Amino acid sequence: MKRFEKLYLQLLGSALNESPLEHSNFIGVEPQEWKSLLALSNRQRTTAFIVTPILSLPKELHPPKGQLLKLQLECGRIEEANNSLNLMIAFLKREFDSIKVPLAILKGQGVAQNYPQPNRRTPGDIDLFFYSPKEYQRVKEWILAKGYHLEKEGKIHQGFNIGRVHIEAHKRLTHFRTRRLDSIFDREFRTVVERGRWQRVAVTATSKGESASTTVELLPPTFNAAYLFIHLFRHFVSTGISMRHICDWTLHLSINRHRIELEEVERILKEFNLLKPAQLVAEIAVRQLGAPPQIFPTGGVYPAQESRGAQLLLNDILKGGDFGKYHKGSIRPKGVWAGRAHSYIHFLVRSIKLASIAPGHILAHPISRAVTRLKLIFNPS
């Protein structure tokens, strides 16, 4: 691992745990190293999150003025983006109240409330979920009545835009590559709905100089702990993940540790054969970021030396960044078939390389992709 990568992980660990930095490690950091470190943080979707630990360094150890100014401007942009999403959540709350649908959100702005400064989490879009198909249908009718353009409906969600904000209305929380696992997850979610133990958090936005909070519903902390990892892993298998995903999961487990039943989280992950990859993510969080081992559903027991699986996973994250966008070979050549062939070969090679992390899931994915493509070729409708 290069020095700027090690220093980046130290900054991220300091932000995650709100712990002091070892200043001596940053003596003699060259401008090019700072440039590489900040570019890495941007690829990992953690730019604003590491501002506080950077500014905690003595001024003589700060990045060069130009880089520091650029970092602070990007931090301001991220704070503005979060405020815009939170204003939209307030709007959706009012609208959904009028059609008697609870405003329940997944990931994103809900997870952000676990951060020391919620507006410093790099945001994406707004993900909504519903407790019943009737509520999902009611919201689809509301979208059409308002004149918002609906994207093509996928297996998991229906996307639409309001202004510049992208919103995804989820009819399902996730999707596996087998009907058996989908059935198991649906059964688990139905149990959660029947119990109705939703977590409620306040999302704050500022408009015209005044702040106001909107209460939204989240998945119960225990089930959410399992879901956030399942979501993380699904993206890892498909394209890749960033350190922001690991921070999201770690902070949820840490902030809600007194509300989370770790044995239940472990049981759910075992059902999906995901306990081993969960242990590897936990190992990265503990070894590289200094997270407390007892918050994870893995017993807090790790090998004396860093495991090969954790090394593979961390290397893939650092090299690939946000949803694997920065992997070498991820850019498709021109031409439909050339692009498809290139993407599939790139995906297949990566899958074989990472297969040991979770063979049943990772090796099934290229097969599933190939079958889906063949079905589209022979039955395009």
Give me the tens of pLDDT residue by residue for the chain, a chain 381 residues long.
899 999 999 999 999 999 999 999 999 999 999 999 999 999 999 999 999 999 999 999 999 999 999 999 999 999 999 999 999 999 999 999 999 999 999 999 999 999 999 999 999 999 999 998 999 999 999 999 999 988 888 888 889 999 999 999 998 888 887 889 989 999 999 999 999 889 999 999 998 888 889 999 999 999 999 999 999 999 998 889 999 999 999 999 999 999 999 999 999 999 999 999 999 999 999 999 999 999 998 765 566 678 899 999 999 999 999 988 888 766 777 777 677 776 778 778 888 888 888 888 887 776 766 666 665 555 655
| Non-local CB neighbours of 272 within 8 Å, separated by 6+ positions | 176, 181, 184, 185, 230
Contacts by residues 360-363 (CB-CB < 8 Å, ≥ 24 positions apart): 360/273, 361/177, 361/233, 361/237, 361/273, 361/274, 362/237
Q: At what angle do helices 3-17 and 243-255 cross, to 10 degrees?
A: 30
Spatial separation of the C-alpha atoms in residues 325 and 322, rounded to whole Å: 6
Structure confidence at residue 238 (pLDDT): 87
Number of residues in the chain: 381
> Are residues 368 and 177 in contact, defined by beta-carbon separation less than 8 angstroms?
yes
Counting Cα atoms < 13 Å in the Cβ hemisphere of 148 gives 21
Structure confidence at residue 88 (pLDDT): 95
Residue 140 amino acid letter: K
| Non-local CB neighbours of 36 within 8 Å, separated by 6+ positions | 2, 4
Structure confidence at residue 378 (pLDDT): 58
Structure confidence at residue 10 (pLDDT): 98
110 is written with which tokens? 């809900």
- Domain ranges across the chain: 1-63, 85-219, 221-381
Structure confidence at residue 372 (pLDDT): 61
C-alpha torsion angle, residues 306, 326, 73, 11 (rounded to 10)? 10
Counting Cα atoms < 13 Å in the Cβ hemisphere of 311 gives 6
Structure confidence at residue 329 (pLDDT): 66
Tokens 């660990």, residue located: 13
Structure confidence at residue 326 (pLDDT): 87
Structure confidence at residue 371 (pLDDT): 64
> Are residues 287 and 302 in contact, defined by beta-carbon separation less than 8 angstroms?
yes
CATH fit for domain 85-219, picks 2.30.29, 3.30.410, 2.30.30, 3.30.460: 3.30.460
Which of the 8 DSSP states describes residue 64? P
